């Protein structure tokens, strides 16, 4: 089975869905932040290993605690995954912190700040220097 085969893509999607359900509903570890999501899953073609990219909406401490909690519950998660998905081998799961969502939000905020500054600068340039100049311009137009 090739890495990007249709079968491997379907297995990745199924493992992603079940892993999300297990993390969201079955694990009661208080270290795992409630805003934890599984971004993507890469199951090896031989079904022996799996990389699960996890995103945690929170500060750095919450991310670190969530990874520790998931690593300690790895056996339980693997057993629950084996019960819910019928695979020849249940993959050994490695949790990796994915910060791409946080990076995207930060970049979007920076872009918004720059465009807001540019918009304010253009508004200042088009505005008259003082109200007196504005009224003088209006008086000269009337005459």
Q: Give the mean model confidence (pLDDT) for residues 6-15.
A: 92
Q: What confidence tier does 122 reach under pLDDT thresholds 50, 70, 90?
A: confident
Q: How far is CA 105 from CA 31, 35, 143, in A?
A: 24, 16, 55
Task: Give residue 136's pLDDT band: very low, low, confident or very high (50, 70, 90).
Answer: low
- Residue 124 DSSP symbol: H
pLDDT band at 78 (very low <50, low <70, confident <90, very high): very high
What is the token pair recorded at 106?
């930060």
Question: What pLDDT score was predicted for residue 92?
Answer: 94
Q: In the prediction, which pLDDT does 98 show?
A: 87
At 100 the pLDDT is 80
């Amino acid at each position: 089975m090739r890495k990007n085969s249709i079968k491997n893509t379907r297995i990745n999607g199924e493992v992603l869905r079940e892993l999300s359900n297990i993390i969201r509903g079955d694990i009661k570890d208080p270290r795992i932040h409630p805003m934890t999501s599984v971004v993507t899953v890469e199951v090896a073609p031989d079904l022996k290993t799996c990389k699960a990219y996890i995103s945690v909406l929170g500060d750095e401490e919450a991310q670190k605690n969530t990874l520790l909690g998931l690593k300690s519950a790895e056996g339980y998660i693997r057993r629950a995954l084996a019960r819910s998905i019928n695979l020849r081998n249940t993959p050994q799961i490695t949790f990796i912190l994915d910060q791409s969502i946080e990076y995207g939000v930060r970049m979007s905020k920076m872009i918004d700040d720059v465009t807001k500054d540019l918009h304010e600068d253009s508004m200042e340039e088009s505005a008259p220097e003082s109200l007196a100049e504005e009224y003088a311009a209006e008086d000269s137009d009337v005459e």
